[in-house]
Amino acid sequence: MNPLFDLTGQVALVTGASRGLGQYLGRALAKSGADLIVTSRKKEDCAAFIDEIEALGRKCVALSLDVRSQDSIEAMAAAAASVAPQIHILVNNAGCNVRKPALEVTWDDWNLILDTNLRGAFFTAQHIAKQMIPHGYGRIINIGSVTSVFGYAGLAPYTASRGGIKQLTMSLADDWGRHGVTVNCLAPGWFKTSQNAVMYEDAGWVEYLTDRIPVKRPGQPNDLDGAVVFLASESSRYVTGQTLLVDGGITTGSTRATVQKRT
């Protein structure tokens, strides 16, 4: 394996790994040699994924984590430190969403999304960075979204949280770069997950979306593999504070000009 992308001997902590993107990202890191610590609100939900990772010849341990709870974050960080003497990589993936027109968003909706996606991400990064800094090394990958740079109707709190992740990434990169810890944001475009699966049941919407993606298809799970391994590995040693969009090019412009035929 190219040493620039080899994660053998490293430990990656992946939050929100009971399903969806968290498992895709964790799987890619394990295939590049990393052992995993994975989290979910109910660690039992990661049982099948642990079996899959161990079948690859990697170690995998599940811990409970509710990123809305300070006590839970602190307990998870302490448990992670007891499992692994050094955590090399953090993939800050845990998140949630509520789709509603802006006029219908409630106070509780806002708090649920921002507390999970933004506050939770910050304090998880803070506690794991405290373990990385004494070793003079760390790779923190905050998971953003195409909504880190685009706004969409019906997603006001979510876009606020993902825009915040982009800004938070830059601030933490400046804070911790001197300690050998890089912080970047991996921002997927439109990938089908359990959170948005209902949208993909609408063939008209999928056609509308596909027309606006230059590569003419939504994202597939393995489309994120190279990006997360790059940001987690030695190959990205001089990259920090950046947002890497893996979106099929949709952020080049979400509308298409219509070409009129001349008669």
Q: Give me the phi and psi of 171, to 5 degrees please.
A: -65, -45
Residue 141 DSSP label: E
Beta bridge partners of 144: none
Residue given tokens 């890497």 in the structure block: 244
Indicate which residues carry an active-site annotation: 158
- Which backbone phi and psi does 69 adopt, to 5 degrees? -115, 120
Q: Angle between the 20-31 and 225-232 helix axes, to the nearest 10 degrees?
A: 60
Listed in sequence order, the DSSP H helices in 61-194 are 70-83, 107-114, 120-132, 156-176
Distance CA 247, CA 205 (A): 17
